[in-house]
Structure 1
Amino acid sequence: MEPQKAIRIDNVAQHSRACGCPPGHPVMHTLLLAPIADQDHTFGKVYLCNKEGHMPFTDEDELFVLSFSRSLALVLGHARAVEERQQAMERQAYLEAQLRQTQKLEALGRLAGGIAHDFNNLLTVIEGYTELALLRQADLTQQLQHQLAEIKKASTRGARLVQQLLAFSRRQRTAPQMLDLNQLVANIVPMLRCLMGDDVELHLELDPSLPPITIDPGQCEQMVVNLMVNARDAMPTGGQVIIRTVSRSVETPLTHRYGVVNPGSYVMLEVCDSGCGMTEEVKAHLFEPFFTTKEVGKGTGLGLSTVYSIVQQCGGHILFESAPGAGTTFQVLFPHHSHADESTASPASQPRQPQSDQATETILLVEDESPLRQLLAEILRKKGYTVLEAESPVHALTLAKAANHPIHLLLTDMIMPHMNGVALATAIAERHPETKVLYMSGHPDPGTRIPTIPQTVVWLQKPFEPEELTRHIRRLLDTPGEARDGPSIPDKRADGE
């Protein structure tokens, strides 16, 4: 049907294209049909009909119907343009909001990365001296032991908060690998039951045929724990939580509040609670950093925003359903992997060498933070090591040049003024090629500050406990082979500690 022309039929029954009338429609004898269309779009048709015995339609009738249909097309076209303009404005507002959110994430990431180094140094000192003090239990009163234990707990919480900030801002060091989601959930169930309390029933519905997913194990545990903490806080008087895993197939694009789930196969983690549910206002701000409905001092507002960031990093999606008084269900969709990538499998762990009571090796310790350097020197000397303390890379090079005996290990910070730890290790190796190296860093990812850092470099993430440091040193010293080509020692997160 041509856009600007009408169709006039004087005898519908004898017309070659007539197909009868719809059920219940009066029998038509004559018909006048005109399109409702503009240059770009056809909205529909308008028609007039007469029963048998009525006067046939005239040219004037045809002009009237065409004029009416064109006017109607103008109205509908304008309405369509207004709707499209509104959709475009909403889309622009959405993109601008996403840009602002991205900019906030980037700003927070720079802030978190900047404070992480100094904050982790402070936490290492606090944890270290507290641990050393707790080792002298015979000299401590029960009250003092309790106070020291509380200091250690607070320090651990501070370290966890830094990790949440880094995970949220995507500055946290991660090691994605293939893992069994069911096994990970099962492993942390005892901790989750303690976390939820006796008044909350925890049920598991785990699909035994679940395929593996690719994610950092520590981040996956953090994600599950944060979802469970959110569920617990929604049930102050107790209730029920179900953790469910299942394979899910998405046939058509699934649009949700934060994006689109493309068709494909996914592994779904579902956490359902019978709590108080959420209002529309709360749902609108659910994943925003520092947004919380808890009282001042009761929450950081980083729990669910951290979950959202972790899910985004592993290429997944998070959906949720909630209503006041009807509980909340979170669904996390992970991309499906049909088979495990053997190259990502963790190497078989080497048996640990028993640590002797007193070590005999010499360690060159380089740390520009004086309180931290003094703490580390005390820890190492208590283990029997000979410690050469250096407050700067220049001082370390002077000590290395003056040493007329082997330096078995260089323990150095990675980010320091004037010279980084990697460059320092290279310089020391020219005079002491036998020296092995263990780096430390309070930065979440030193590679962003040292572009030339080797991918296999061994480094320990601050904060760490004294036993963790001495264990890594002992393992590195007892590992045969080249000083810098030995097996990598994972940091505390990779160790699951």
Structure 2
Amino acid sequence: MTTFDKYPPPPRFGETYAGLKTIIEAVPIGIIVFDETEEVVYANDLAERLFAKRLKPDGPTIRCGDFIDCGNRHRDPRGCGYSPDCPTCPLLRAIRSALAAEALNPVQTGEAPIARDPGFEPMWVKYRVRPVQLDTERIAVMAIDDLTEQKQAEAEAEKLRAHLAQSQKIESVGRLAGGVAHEFNNKLMIILGYIELVMNQIDLASPLQEDLSAIQDAALKSVDLVKKLLAFAQKQTVLPEVLDLNRKISGIMSMLEYLIGERIVLIWKPSADLWRIQIDPSQIDQLLINLALNSRDAIAGTGTLTIGTQNIHKQNLSAEGGENAVPGDYVQLLVRDDGCGMTPEIRHTLFEPFFTTKPVGQGTGLGLSAVYGIVSQNRGFIRVESSPAQGATFRIYLPRAEGTGKSTRDYTAPVRTSIPERGKTILLVEDDQSLLGLVKTILERHEYSVISAANSRKALKLVKEDPDPIHLLLTDIFMPDMDGLTLVKHVTALRPEIKVLYMSAYPPDTRSLTQRKDPALGYLRKPFAIDDLVTKVRTLLDT
């Protein structure tokens, strides 16, 4: 018996009472009525459709938890109202509050998730519960809306905001890492340069050679850390070329097997007819080595590491994940392990530099951040799937290469072994005074005449005022007053015949710089050895 059946219409309402019932059945909101025993005595059509229930006049009594399929009602054999979770259920608390006092209580409102039975979709509702006095009986009338889609949209928007915040955080840390790496690189260049100068001046049998070698080894290991920082900051020096990813991976499989050890089985699943990609081949080595080592450390005992490739058409690339995925065709590089997996919290901070789950002293926290930087530098993105004890899957998406697939490596002139000509003049521009002094010393010891300038404006002034010929401009790229690229434009306009050699930890536009086939232009990556510097200078001057 429903509320309408239990309470007949007052005489003054007449036939309008049946119309009122029809209206309530048709309102676009769920209406559920509870009697003093907290049993459902009426539900309009929308409420019944919302929870897939149909009340029958002669059917068994049904309570709130039974009507909405609350999963907590099974925790006590007496059902809804007796479970340990019922006192904290916002819907049940609102119903009891409406039925409790003799005086009419204000409307109880709120939003709440419903803990539904297994197999039912999670559900959010907005409810309003009001007490109503009918003759001698008190009832609670609940108006209920389905907020599930709204909450899902809000959760998706929050997920996108979190992705944006994380991307901005990584970008900020990347800028900081790039700046730190640039300055640290200069200091390493000074250390390594002077060590090499001293080692060249003392006897090979001297006991100092061993000590200097130990210092040199430590500095070279620091150079590797700088490279990882630069990779994360997306400012690593690269020489991209169009390549076959399958062939490249096949060529380093034996090295990867050696890295992960015999206890882990390496499975290689190349896809047929794989598109080509454009990337520096050494970056593929870095990607796979870092990911393989990460998987090795995640596997306790024996396990498997799977590497695969696949073409991904733009229509098959879903937008889930919130990455900066640009529509287009991609080549997917998959790296999957059956290791310990990771929690959502770890997954969220996975690519941050210096983040590591390894004990102190056993990891730098730069391996995966370098992976992130390399992929971003090549206009790709990464998706990670993992959960505790379920392993981890890294899916790296790299854009399909355009063009014919010809190599785009920089021009390399043949190295000659001629003795440098006396009187050749080099204009050296470097804003780090210590590094400026080091490079000047090296060049002068190799019988070059060196004019030095600590900034671009001073160098440009020397070019304008010095009437003597200047054969080579050796300049840093990143300087505070005027960058090296701008300086070169001004200098070559005044002296078109001058040769140019850039030196930096990273050029600002590697692709355009390395694609120039100008034999009078060279690039030297810091930190460089003395022989590398002298050979590059000699090559350009002899061209």
**Alpha-carbon separation, structure 1, partners of 2:404 and 2:453:** 43
1:384 CA displacement: 3.0
Give the match for residue 299 of structure 1: 363
Of 19, 33, 45, which residue of structure 2 is paired with 1:69? Answer: 45
The separation in 2 between residues aligned to 1:430 and 1:267, in whole angstroms, is 43
Q: Which aligned pairs between 1:105-120 and structure 2 lie closer than 5 A?
A: 105-120=170-185
SS in 2 for 1:139: coil
AA matched with 1:96: R
Q: For the residues of structure 2 that align with 1:200 and 1:133, how far apart are their CA atoms? A: 45
Distance 1:190 1:86 in 2: 50
Alignment RMSD, CA only? 4.3
Cα deviation digits, residues 171-212 of structure 1 (max 9, x gap): 445555421112322444455455445665545443464321
> Is the counterpart of residue 84 in structure 1 residue 149 in structure 2?
yes
Q: Does 1:129 align with 2:105?
A: no
Shift of 1:149: 3.7
> Which string of whole-angstrom CA distances, capped at 9 and with x for unpartnered residues, describes residues 189-236 of structure 1?
455455445665545443464321233434333222211121222246
198-207 vs 209-218, greater mean Cα deviation: 198-207
Residues 364-373 or 340-349, more deviating: 340-349
Does residue 396 of structure 2 align to residue 332 of structure 1?
Answer: yes
1:467 aligns with 2:531: yes
Structure 2 residue 258 is the aligned partner of structure 1 residue 282: no
Going from structure 1 to structure 2, the CA distance change for 1:109 and 1:328 (only over 3 Å counts) comes to: closer
Distance 1:359 1:272, change over 3 A: farther
Distance 1:192-1:359 versus aligned 2 partners, 3 A rule: farther
Q: For residues 274 and 315 of structure 2, what CA distance do their matches in structure 1 show?
A: 19
Q: Distance in 2 between matches of 1:387 and 1:204?
A: 54
- 5+ unaligned residues in a row in structure 2: which ranges? 1-22, 31-40, 53-124, 127-143
Query: Within 5 Å, which residues of 2 pair with 1:341-490?
Result: 341-342=403-404, 345-346=407-408, 349=411, 352-360=414-422, 361-393=424-456, 395-396=458-459, 400=463, 405-425=468-488, 428-429=491-492, 432-442=495-505, 445=508, 458-479=522-543
Query: Quick one: structure 1 residues 84 and 289, their matched pair in 2 at CA, closer, same or farther if it must change by over 3 Å?
Result: farther
CA–CA distance in structure 2, aligned partners of residues 235 and 161 of structure 1: 25
Identify unmatched segments of 5+ residues in structure 1: 1-33, 44-64, 448-452, 480-497
Q: Describe the shift of the 1:425–1:342 C-alpha distance in structure 2 as closer, same or farther (beyond 3 A).
A: same
The C-alpha deviation readout for 1:125-178, integer Å capped at 9, x for no partner, is 122223334445743546x44443443343334333333333334444555542
Q: 1:140 to 1:273 in 2, by over 3 A?
A: farther
**Higher RCO by CA contacts (8 Å cutoff, separation 6 or greater):** 1
**Partner of residue 11, structure 1:** none
TM-score (norm 2): 0.63
**Closer, same or farther: CA 346–35 of 1 in aligned 2, 3 Å:** farther
Pairing 1:103–2:165 present: no
* Partner deviation per Cα, 1:333-370 (whole Å, 9 max, x = no partner): 43445xx5138642685551322244432212222322
Q: Distance in 1 between matches of 2:25 and 2:211?
A: 82
Deviations 1:281-335 (A, max 9, x none): 5345433443321112322323223323433454545344545555434333434
Matched pairs, number: 416
Tell me the SS of whatever aligns to 1:214: strand
2:224 matched to which residue of 1? 160
Question: Kindly tell me: are residues 195 and 70 of structure 1, through their superposed partners in 2, closer, same or farther at Cα, counting changes over 3 Å?
Answer: closer
C-alpha separation between the residues in 2 aligned to 1:194 and 1:359? Answer: 48
Distance 2:533 2:254 in 1: 28
The amino acid of 1:413's aligned partner reads D
Determine which structure has more spread, i.e. the larger CA radius of gyration.
2
Secondary structure of the corresponding residue to residue 165 of structure 2: helix
Moved more, 260-269 or 121-130: 260-269
- 1:172 touches 1:445 (CA, 8 Å); kept in 2? no
TM-superposition CA deviations, 1:13-34 (whole Å, max 9, x none): xxxxxxxxxxxxxxxxxxxxx9
Range moving further from structure 2, 116-125 or 392-401: 392-401
Q: Secondary structure at the match of 1:158?
A: helix
Contact 2:295–2:305 (Cα < 8 Å) also in 1: yes
Deviates more, 1:295-304 or 1:224-233: 295-304
Kept in 2, the 8 Å contact 1:112–1:162? The answer is no
How many percent of aligned residue pairs carry the same amino acid? 40
Distance 1:418 1:471 in 2: 29
Q: State the distance in 1 between where 2:384 and 2:483 align.
A: 46
Output the CA distance in 2 between the equivalents of 1:195 and 1:156: 21
Task: Using the TM superposition, give the Cα deviation of residue 459 of structure 1 relative to its aligned residue in structure 2, in angstroms.
Answer: 4.1
* Contact 2:308-2:333 at 8 Å conserved across structures: yes
Residues 152, 186 of structure 1: alpha-carbon distance in 2 compared, 3 angstrom cutoff:
farther
Inter-partner Cα distance in structure 2 for 1:334 and 1:417: 34
Q: 1:415 to 1:139 in 2, by over 3 A?
A: same
Report the Cα distance in structure 2 between the residues aligned to 1:146 and 1:36, rounded to whole angstroms: 92
Structure 2 residue matching 1:125: 3-state secondary structure: helix
Task: Name the amino acid aligned to 1:371.
Answer: S
Whether the aligned pair in 2 keeps the contact of 1:438 and 1:473 (CA below 8 Å) is: yes
Inter-CA distance 358–36: structure 2 relative to 1 (3 Å threshold): farther
Shift of 1:464: 2.4
1:214 matched to 2:278? The reply is yes
Q: Hey, what's the Cα distance between the residues in 2 that align with 1:190 and 1:101?
A: 36
Distance apart, 1:257 and its partner CA: 4.5
- Is the contact made by 2:309 and 2:332 (CA closer than 8 Å) also made in structure 1? yes
Structure 1 residues 184 and 409, CA, compared in 2 at 3 Å: closer, same or farther?
Answer: same
Residues 113 and 444 in structure 1, CA contact (< 8 A), matched pair in contact too? no
